[in-house]
Amino acid sequence: MSQQSKLIPQSFQKIMEKVKEVYADDVEVQKLFENCFLNTYQTTLKQDEEGTFVITGDIPAMWLRDSSAQVRPYLMVASEDKEVAQMLKQVIERQWKYILLDPYANAFNQTANNQGHQNDRTEMSPWIWERKYEIDSLAFPIQLTYLYWKATGDDSILNDRLKEVIETIYHVWKVEQNHEEQSPYLFERDDCRVSDTLLRAGKGGYSVKTGMTWSGFRPSDDACLYGYLIPANMFAVVALQYAEEMLGKMNELSLAEKIRELASEIKAGIEKYGIVNHPIFGDMYAYETDGAGNFNLMDDANVPSLLAIPYLGYTDATDPVYENTRNFILSRHNPYYYEGAAAEGIGSPHTPDHYIWHISLSIQGMTATSPAEKKKIVEMFKHTHGSTYYMHEGFDAARPENFTRSWFAWANSMFSEFILSEIGMFVPGSPLARS
């Protein structure tokens, strides 16, 4: 995979020059940053009559989650570069369209071309690539809309279409507070590994009412073990707070109040049902629970994750329960924490054993409070790109030349955002910018 010969915006060049200036003695970081920062812009943005479509890289579909994260670093120049701002707005409007087509779908086609997993047993349509219901697929577009608004001051994004999108998301999250009795969502896939389908005839992970909202799948697109995915519910709380602020600006006070109440219900559920007392680490957040006393103690590399809690804005890095959780997930007590000759960090059941994810290293770096830990993360990036000068999905902790997905734009954008945070540049309006 190579970068296309697409004209680099002047605003991007300024950022690359700043990175070169700070890392003047580190040509490796300079080259990695330039490749990764430009990757989404030069290889994954597809223009058509409807605006901008964003592929993930080696998969030609647009994930609501991935597309948000892929373009996120470009928000840093949106206030000064009108063309970049227009591109971001088109991505947001495309996401809105897809949510209104089907809020239970996670990935979409550029046209109604019937590509993707059309044989899945769920309510598919020609527009949908995949219909795995994930809370974060709805939270990421709200977050991107909010951060675009904060970065640009463009009030035109606060319109009736946005209100319709927020109403749609609100309805889904309310229904999924009582998944067992109210949800219309079913999903089954034949001839696949168990993590690609939902058990109980497509009903998925069992749950009792807690105030939290149910999720069928994790941001890895793997099925949840238990119905309440804690980091995704945390992200929902933050996204609802963003929605409430935008609705307040629009003077949509009735809907804003409903949104505030839902956020309060979900947060209360997290704090009551999502915390366990670990014999070694003390009070910490579980990754998943069913609300009936069963917990899954782990973390996954994909965002939203428990490691990413301060990055998402649910709480800050000095919160005692987060600190305990972080100590757990960056230890061998987390079944997906790996150590090898080249790196140590968090992987995922989605990829092979002892494969660490570059996305999780970026999150670890951005949520670290120690300069030494941040510096260590930079060094790990330099030694784990497998001589490709791009980031990957997962890589072997001992032999990083073995990796999955050579063209994975989400990982490239996350690395870019981490390096920019290291030189004091943050997405305007984001939690890290305020900390």
Q: Which of 328, 414, 332 is nearest to 366 (CA)?
A: 414
| Ramachandran quadrant class, 179 (left: phi over 0; alpha: psi -120 to 50; beta: rest) | alpha
CA distance 138 to 168: 10
3-class state of residue 34 by DSSP: helix
At 278, which helix (H) or strand (E)? strand 275-278
CATH of domain 10-430: 1.50.10.10
What does each of the 435 residues of the chain score in pLDDT, given as a tens digit? 555 557 999 999 999 999 999 999 999 999 999 999 999 999 999 999 999 999 999 999 999 999 999 999 999 999 999 999 999 999 999 999 999 999 999 999 999 999 999 999 999 999 999 999 999 999 999 999 999 999 999 999 999 999 999 999 999 999 999 999 999 999 999 999 999 999 999 999 889 999 999 999 999 999 999 999 999 999 999 999 999 999 999 999 999 999 999 999 999 999 999 999 999 999 999 999 999 999 999 999 999 999 999 999 999 999 999 999 999 999 999 999 999 999 999 999 999 999 999 999 999 999 999 999 999 999 999 999 999 999 999 999 999 999 999 999 999 999 999 999 999 999 999 999 987
pLDDT score for 4: 56
| 3-state secondary structure at position 269 | helix
Q: How far apart are CA 401 and CA 388, in angstroms?
A: 9
pLDDT of 187: 98
DSSP, collapsed to helix, strand or coil, labels residue 211 as coil
- Residues 127, 58: Cα–Cα separation, whole Å: 19
Written as six digits, the tokens of 286 are 């579980």
DSSP string covering 280-325: TTEEEE-SEE-SSS-EE----SSSS-STTHHHHTSS-TT-HHHHHH
Domain boundaries, the chain: 10-430
Mark out the alpha helices in 153-225 (DSSP H runs): 160-175, 179-182
Q: What is the DSSP string of 313-334?
A: TSS-TT-HHHHHHHHHHTSTTS
SS3 124: coil
Question: 360 burial class (0-12, 13-18, 19+ CB within 10 angstroms)?
Answer: buried
Kindly report the number of other CB atoms within 10 A of residue 90's CB atom.
Answer: 18
> What is the rounded CA–CA span in Å between residue 74 and residue 147?
11
- Residue 244 φ then ψ, to 5°: -60, -40
pLDDT of residue 205: 85
User: What is the per-residue pLDDT for 3?
Assistant: 53
Instruction: Take residue 374 and report the two structure tokens written for it.
Output: 């941040």
Give the DSSP H or E segment for 129: strand 128-130
Note whether 316 and 327 are within 8 A (CB).
no
Token pair, residue 322, equals: 């987060």
Tokens 């070694």 belong to residue:
280
Which of 386, 333, 392 minimizes the C-alpha distance to 360? 392
How far is Cα 250 from Cα 252, in angstroms, rounded to an integer? Answer: 5
Closest alpha carbon to 65 in 188, 233, 218, 191: 218
